[in-house]
Amino acid sequence: MNKITLLMHCKDQSGIIAAVSNFIAELGGNIVYIDQHVDREQNIFFMRLESEFDNDILDLEHLKDTFKNGLVKQFVMKWRIYTSEVQPKMALFVSKYDHCLYDILGRYKSGELNVEIPFILSNHLDLKPIADSFDIPFYHVPVTKDTKPEAEAKQLELLKKHKINFIVLARYMQIISPKLINEYPNKIINIHHSFLPAFVGAKPYHSAYKRGVKIIGATSHYVTEDLDAGPIIEQDVTRVTHNHAIEDLIAKGRDLEKIVLATAIKHHINRKVMVYNNKTLIFY
């Protein structure tokens, strides 16, 4: 069996679901997931659909062509179609913190993530032994104020060479340049260690401690040019009390960061995310 995933949006109109359902049925597919959403304010219709085909029936290029020349034109759709046969390639950018890296690599080795990891990249050498112990290539690309352009050129070269589809910043701690962001729009996943939009920027646990919040959080989002302001993919929180010092918040936060980032990565890999108007739609 082969499974395709369709993500689409267009102006809200009558008859879209019927038309797409008919299209799939006529090609011999069986819809196994369909979910749609209408943004009433913007009057936009969104749909995610999964369909199974017998292997000998599915001609993916023909399906895409027919779809593009037919319904896409009729309804003026934005669309993407993925097939389960192609595994995306993910690059991991890290710095010195190891907890998210251990968590992702453990999941990867367990077979939990349907992805390839061609390489891990860091501006420091500290985590190289972890990459080595998991048998994943490690590139050390130091970044200083002076060498930033060269470092980015090196990063882009590696990303292209390895045909990377998306990047995960697993506590990378460096600002990503607009050039790299534009090459990977809504394809760079960051983990921020606060419940955004509270505590944007550096040292959010210190800010949370100072404000005396009773709950701390972590947020995974796509990177945009505005710092910590990109589309939110996943958030989670945990309770704290006055007994928790800043180092306790940091320790409790590590578990949040791991779970939230892993969840966001899985949503992305499983094509469950659509981005619109700087927000995400997550089709569970």
Q: Shortest approach of a second copy to residue 93 CB, angstroms?
A: 18
Footprint (CB under 8 A) of a second copy, residues 234-263:
234-237, 241-243, 245, 251, 254-255, 259, 262
Q: By CB under 8 A, is residue 55 in contact with a second copy?
A: no
In degrees, to the nearest 5, what angle opens at C-alpha 220 toward C-alphas 217 and 161? 150
**Binding-residue total with a second copy (CB under 8 A):** 65
Q: Shortest approach of a second copy to residue 128 CB, angstroms?
A: 14
Backbone angles phi, psi at 91, to 5 degrees: -100, 140
- 89 alpha-carbon distance from chain centroid: 12
Q: Shortest approach of a second copy to residue 126 CB, angstroms?
A: 12
Which range of residues in 2-10, 25-33, 62-70, 181-189 is near a second copy by CB under 8 A?
25-33
Q: Shortest approach of a second copy to residue 185 CB, angstroms?
A: 17
Nearer to a second copy, 18 or 202 (CB): 18
Query: 16-48 in b/e burial notation, b at 16+ Cβ within 10 A?
Result: beeebeebbeebebeeeebebeeeeeeebbbbb
3-state secondary structure of 120: strand
What's the CA gap between 157 and 121, in Å, rounded? 12
In degrees, to the nearest 5, what angle opens at C-alpha 219 toward C-alphas 169 and 192? 45
- Taking residue 12's Cβ as centre, other Cβ atoms within 10 Å add up to 16
Q: By CB under 8 A, is residue 145 in contact with a second copy?
A: no
Sign of the torsion formed by the C-alpha atoms of 60, 61, 63 and 67? positive
Nearer to a second copy, 151 or 189 (CB): 189
Nearer to a second copy, 26 or 146 (CB): 26
Q: Shortest approach of a second copy to residue 27 CB, angstroms?
A: 11
Nearer to a second copy, 115 or 213 (CB): 213
If you ran DSSP here, which 8-state letter would residue 199 be given?
T
Q: By CB under 8 A, is residue 50 in contact with a second copy?
A: no
What's the CA gap between 66 and 4, in Å, rounded? 15
Q: Does residue 227 contact residue 200 with C-beta atoms inside 8 Å?
A: yes
Q: Shortest approach of a second copy to residue 153 CB, angstroms?
A: 32
Which range of residues in 65-73, 77-85, 176-184, 230-238 is near a second copy by CB under 8 A?
230-238
Helices (H), ranges, the chain: 16-26, 60-69, 71-75, 99-110, 128-133, 148-161, 178-183, 204-211, 246-269
**Residue 275, beta-bridge partner list:** 280
User: Hey, which residues are catalytic here?
Assistant: 228
Q: By CB under 8 A, is residue 3 in contact with a second copy?
A: no
Among 65, 69, 106, 174, binds a second copy (CB under 8 A): 106
Residues of this chain that interact with a second copy (CB under 8 A) are 14-15, 17-18, 21-22, 24-25, 29-38, 40, 98-99, 102-103, 105-107, 109-110, 112, 130, 133-134, 195-199, 211-215, 217, 231-237, 241-243, 245, 251, 254-255, 259, 262, 278-282, 284
